[in-house]
Amino acid sequence: MARIVMKFGGTSVADIDRIRNVARRVKREVDAGHEVAVVVSAMSGVTNQLVAWVNQLAPLYDAREYDAVVATGEQVTSGLTALALQELGVDARSWQGWQLPLVSDDAHGKARILSIDTAEVLRRFAEGRQVAVVAGFQGIGPDGRVTTLGRGGSDTSAVALAAALQADRCDIYTDVDGVYTCDPRIVARARKLDKITYEEMLEMASLGAKVLQTRSVELAMNHRVRVQVLSSFEDKPGTLVVDEDEIVEKQVVSGIAYSRDEAKVTLTKVADKPGIAAAIFGPLAEASVNVDMIVQSSSEDGQTTDMTFTVGKADMERATRLLKSGAGVTGYAELISDPNVVKISVIGVGMRSYAGVALTMFQTLAEKGINIQVISTSEIKISVLIDEQYLELALRALHTAYGLDRQ
Amino acid sequence: MARIVMKFGGTSVADIDRIRNVARRVKREVDAGHEVAVVVSAMSGVTNQLVAWVNQLAPLYDAREYDAVVATGEQVTSGLTALALQELGVDARSWQGWQLPLVSDDAHGKARILSIDTAEVLRRFAEGRQVAVVAGFQGIGPDGRVTTLGRGGSDTSAVALAAALQADRCDIYTDVDGVYTCDPRIVARARKLDKITYEEMLEMASLGAKVLQTRSVELAMNHRVRVQVLSSFEDKPGTLVVDEDEIVEKQVVSGIAYSRDEAKVTLTKVADKPGIAAAIFGPLAEASVNVDMIVQSSSEDGQTTDMTFTVGKADMERATRLLKSGAGVTGYAELISDPNVVKISVIGVGMRSYAGVALTMFQTLAEKGINIQVISTSEIKISVLIDEQYLELALRALHTAYGLDRQ
């Protein structure tokens, strides 16, 4: 007997038939003797409708009312899923965030989970293995009002619940069947990974492989929750996200991720003196503009430096306006911004103990005549910024070069 | 300064523009210096969709899950309405049933209100006249789960809240502009009433004038809550439902109501002995078939009696099947059922002290050649059952005969 948390996303509960399908999957685990808690998202499209209503009424909305409105999507699904289970003869009941309670801080709209009371759920597991169907994405704040955890928050609810219940596994059912070595819509030879480490998944998630929400992976890593990503429409194992020592044969590179959500900003001939970076990036940080890759290169004259960095595409205009308005440094020759870039990252925990990974990347891109604009590296990742028109070419070439192609 | 509860039905909050309209109406009362609590229904159509989903999944649903699903409709509207008020610069917050709390019994799907804690709402009235936007139709049961009060329950929420707050008035905004002497779609000369007594309104409501839910009128009568029914689309006074002594010039007849939801059942030549009525109606009551009008007339032979009664149209088949299957009495000559009947009632508290009201009814119908099949009377009401094809003719003739026509 195991204890399992099963999480179903919006497309998995998009209509009544799919909710029935979810109930059948849950029943199978119950019939196998497991204790099961289910976490559900809103039916797909519902949250968008609710958010649209809020924005129509009040563009600068009171986040507490936003939460009261938007949390209803998951409430509906939790009740319907409990009913679908009961129809199959499975004892089940729905739980809203405030009923457990799942207590969060008061950051309405993007609350963080503080604690989950699982006593009653565990009592009902012990009593008759009643399935707990928990509305994802929501909690109750210190003010006694409904909070939501931000987009993708149902993943976070599921992982946090799995941690609180000390579950053996947290299965995240979604519309893809696992984590791939690369985006299969671009790289036809991409392979599904059987296992991936938390660290790798974290890099993948934050780089735009939108299978799991970053926060949920962090949480899983911190509490060592075994997460499985799998399809709710097909009947086969997915990808297990696990601790590094559960993976015997480590790949040097596990996957290649990319992000189109980058824009490049360059300031040329900035006076090269101490404090210059702080002067540039301080005002951007204050304005909540996230800066990602940063490269500083000295100019020929030895007196000045060129500063290049990336920001989210949506922030590019704001960032350049801030810099031009005299926030940060005023002494520079040119300010160049370019939204037509993509970031490509090769990711793998094996990199730590294997040299030459970066070289392979640089050589492969050079052979294809692709210019690297910015490079940044971490312990398990190498990222480069290139012209976006080369995205597909670069991904396919790198996928082959690192031996990731499906046989 | 007054304290007012304003209740808006589904058509009044059907879309974002109408919610903005509601907010403007509320603001007007706030600007006039009043303390205001608002009770909202679900946006029209939403509850039906939610109920349809539940029925699709589980025709014999768990009422606790039904409540969890269906109560979300009002939750959405409460949040949106609070936002709309804030946009107009009015301090407002939403309250769910469990937050006040509005405590009900555990009869999920048709719960009764036990108590409403208004301390926090009153504190916020005193502090800065914050508007409380309360989700109608819902409460929290002794099991800590969401309950709903049954169809039309938002009216009940509003009146109960008005009683708990000791409000000066409970305004029920709807898509009609008040209570009429008769259905204006049939009787063009029907007049809007300025005032009507609780007792009369109760008869009107239970007889199918679907302006106010019966339970909410009972509640208003028991707690002497002054209720006003008015249009949320037009800007004019509606109908006040008040205590009898607030009405100086009492009409003998205040209005004429009708119900198409009746079917007639007749058993002929039933043995006329004590206990016969109990034998017939006991099994019907056990099967939850509601019996309304009952007439017993002795047959010519003096040994037997004919028994005629009405049931809801939806129950007619079940009632006749029960009687034929031998439940109740078995000794009768014929069982005749007829769904093509309507009940017409003239209503007025003035009847108590004025003779001849029934006579006017009988004469008027006789003049038009309309046969009365069953008669029943109460202190303030005379009802007759007639062939449904005469409905419009009868209503118009009676409306004129009782002097109700608009000048």
Ordered domains of chain A (ranges, CATH):
3-175 (3.40.1160.10)
The DSSP code for B163 is: H
Contact B65 A82 (CB under 8 A): yes
Residue of A nearest to B20 (CA): A57
Euclidean distance between CA atoms A202 and A183, whole angstroms: 16
pLDDT attached to residue B240? 95
Question: Residue A305 pLDDT more than 90?
Answer: no
| Low-confidence winner among A61-70, A398-407, B323-332, B380-389 (lowest mean pLDDT) | B323-332
Question: How do residues A335-389 score in pLDDT, each as one tens digit?
Answer: 999 999 999 999 998 888 887 899 999 999 999 999 999 998 888 999 999 999 9
The answer for residues whose C-beta is within 8 angstroms of residue B214's C-beta and 6 or more apart is B202, B205, B206
Strand A291-298 relative to strand A304-312, pairing: antiparallel
Q: How many CB atoms lie within 10 A of CB A252?
A: 18
Euclidean distance between CA atoms B373 and A47, whole angstroms: 56
Contact B86 A62 (CB under 8 A): yes
Euclidean distance between CA atoms B345 and B376, whole angstroms: 9
Of A256, A268, A315, give the one whose Cα is nearest residue A287: A315
Residue of B nearest to A19 (CA): B57
Considering only CB atoms, which chain A residues are within 8 Å of B24? Answer: none
In the structure encoding, which two tokens stand for residue B254, read together?
A: 């205040």
Contact A57 B80 (CB under 8 A): yes
Residue of A nearest to B49 (CA): A76
Chain B interface test: which of A80, A140, A146 (most B C-beta within 10 Å): A80
Query: How many Cβ contacts (< 8 angstroms) between chains A and B?
Result: 106
**Mean pLDDT along residues A233-253:** 87
Euclidean distance between CA atoms B178 and A74, whole angstroms: 38
The answer for residues whose C-beta is within 8 angstroms of residue B381's C-beta and 6 or more apart is B203, B345, B346, B347, B351
pLDDT attached to residue A329? 66
Model pTM score: 0.85
Question: Residue B329 pLDDT more than 70?
Answer: no
Chain A interface test: which of B49, B72, B96, B99 (most A C-beta within 10 Å): B72
Question: Residue B142 pLDDT more than 80?
Answer: yes
Strand A113-116 relative to strand A102-104, pairing: antiparallel
**Mean pLDDT along residues A83-112:** 97
| CA atoms within 13 A of residue B50's CA, in its CB half-sphere | 25
Query: Is ipTM over 0.85?
Result: no
Query: What share of chain B has pLDDT > 70, as a percent?
Result: 98
The answer for residues whose C-beta is within 8 angstroms of residue A93's C-beta and 6 or more apart is A82, A124, A130, A131, A132, A133, B64, B65
In the structure encoding, which two tokens stand for residue B172, read together?
A: 């029920």
What is residue B106's three-state secondary structure?
Answer: coil
Question: How do residues B245-288 score in pLDDT, each as one tens digit?
Answer: 888 777 789 999 999 999 999 998 888 777 788 888 888 888 88
The answer for residues whose C-beta is within 8 angstroms of residue B231's C-beta and 6 or more apart is B173, B174, B175, B176, B177, B178, B238
pLDDT category, A209, cuts 50, 70, 90? low
Judge whether B96 and B143 are in contact, CB under 8 Å.
no
Residue of B nearest to A23 (CA): B57
Q: Which of B57, B78, B80 sits opposite A83 (nearest CB)?
A: B57
- The residue type found at A36 is V
In the structure encoding, which two tokens stand for residue B64, read together?
A: 């606790």
Considering only CB atoms, which chain B residues are within 8 Å of A145? Answer: 99
pLDDT attached to residue A214? 85
Question: How do residues B170-194 score in pLDDT, each as one tens digit?
Answer: 999 998 889 999 999 999 999 999 9
| Low-confidence winner among A392-401, B146-155, B199-208 (lowest mean pLDDT) | B199-208
Contact A86 B58 (CB under 8 A): yes
Contact B68 A79 (CB under 8 A): yes
Euclidean distance between CA atoms B106 and A316, whole angstroms: 56
Q: How many CB atoms lie within 10 A of CB B208?
A: 16
How close are the terminal C-alpha atoms of chain B, in Å? 37
Euclidean distance between CA atoms A170 and A122, whole angstroms: 16
